[in-house]
Structures are given as C-alpha cells and as structure tokens.
Chain A
Amino acid sequence: GEDVEQSLFLSVREGDSSVINCTYTDSSSTYLYWYKQEPGAGLQLLTYIFSNMDMKQDQRLTVLLNKKDKHLSLRIADTQTGDSAIYFCAEINAGNMLTFGGGTRLMVKP
C-alpha cells in the first residue's frame, strides 16, 4: 500500500536553510505536495511538483524530486521564525487519493 514517511522534527537557526525530507512508496504518484500547518490552523498548500519534474523553485522554497529513490525534499532558504510550523508532504496517486506523511515539526531558533 501507499506510505509516506517524514522525520518528526527539525531545528534550525534563523537565517539558515532548512531541508525537510520525505519518502514515498507509490510509484504511480502524479503530483506531490508540501503543506504547512501553523498551530491551531488548517493546512495551507505551499507548493507542489508534477512527477515528471526534478525541481521546482518558488521564491525561498525549492522542491527536489528524485523519482528513482522516491524521495522528495523541501528546502527553505533564509529560514525565519515565521516558518516555524509542521510541514506535511503528500502524494496523489492513480486512485486520486491524497496520502499524507506524518508531518515534520520545524522549529526556528532566533
């Protein structure tokens, strides 16, 4: 079955880069997403990448996709305290179901 895995926690200093990693098992994934969840709020879509792309850049965010290894990463440049949140990766597969990872809590220290 499908499975999406993420590490639980990441701590960085303000101004450093953050890299959040995700692995997935379903090779039929068509789109892969990164969502951000701030405390007490719903999920907010940050960015997504099509499965036929290797990289997508959007301002401070860079998404890298390695289809061979089924590995997805989100790099946040110049991380700010406002970036502290839980980040979820998710895939949508041929069955049109969104499967989420367990989330990575990013803590940014001033």
Chain B
Amino acid sequence: NAGVTQTPKFRILKIGQSMTLQCTQDMNHNYMYWYRQDPGMGLKLIYYSVGAGITDKGEVPNGYNVSRSTTEDFPLRLELAAPSQTSVYFCASSPATRTDTQYFGPGTRLTVL
C-alpha cells in the first residue's frame, strides 16, 4: 500500500490563480480530511468527508472547495489564491470513525506571492 499520497509536493502561485491539490488513499478508508499547517502552528481542519459524495466544513473552510466522487480521491480546490493561503497542506484518512487513527500524507507546500 502506498498509503496517502499528495501531489504536488511544492507549488508557487500568483495572487488570484487557482489550483487543485490532489490527495489519494489506497486503504479503502471512508473518512478523509484536509488540514493546513502554518509556521509554528498546529494543524487546522479545512474540510472533511465521511464517504463518497459527502463533505463538510472544518474550522477554516473559507477560500477552499472540495469534492469526493470516489472513496480514494479527495481533491482540494483553491479558486482565487491569496497570500493568507501560503501554508503546508496535509491530507489524511481514517478507516471508519473520526476517533480512528488518521494516516497523513507527506504534505504540499504552497506559496502564494
């Protein structure tokens, strides 16, 4: 199993550009999550999904969108990039309930200039 994979590893965007961060897991997990980690801070939950077709907002959803058309994939979309979205983005998945262990991807480092 590859676990949770994320692409790209690094990206620089200009203000107002858009992009999609990809996340795929091959563990057949129902729950998937997107977090952002700002320097010196803990992770903040952006969006999560409890299964294909179901998504919900986390703590900091503004400026982002998600979709979950398959169990494996949970892409995160930034429509109009802003400098405040400069961060490291982590995708995670867990088997069944939200209290199960979450498995994290390696992260995507995004800079918006």
Point out residues on A near B: beta carbons under 8 Å. Answer: 4, 8, 30-31, 40-45, 48, 88, 90, 92, 96-103
Collect the chain B residues with CB atoms within 8 Å of residue A42's CB.
4, 90, 92, 104-107
Q: A30-B99, A96-B99 are in contact. Are A102 and B42 (CB under 8 A)?
A: yes
**A41 contacts which of B40, B41, B92, B106 (Cβ < 8 Å)?**
B106
Number of residues of chain B lying within 8 A (CB) of chain A: 20
CB within 8 Å of A: which B23-75 residues: 40-45, 58-59
B98 at the interface (CB under 8 A from A): yes
Where chain A touches its partner, the secondary structure class is: strand
Q: A40-B106, A42-B107 are in contact. Are A31 and B99 (CB under 8 A)?
A: yes
CB within 8 Å of A: which B63-113 residues: 90, 92, 98-99, 101-107
Q: A4–B42 Cα gap in the complex (Å)?
A: 9
Collect the chain B residues with CB atoms within 8 Å of residue A103's CB.
40-42
Collect the chain B residues with CB atoms within 8 Å of residue A100's CB.
42-44
Collect the chain B residues with CB atoms within 8 Å of residue A96's CB.
98-99
Q: A38–B107 Cα gap in the complex (Å)?
A: 12
Q: A41–B102 Cα gap in the complex (Å)?
A: 14
Q: A31–B41 Cα gap in the complex (Å)?
A: 21
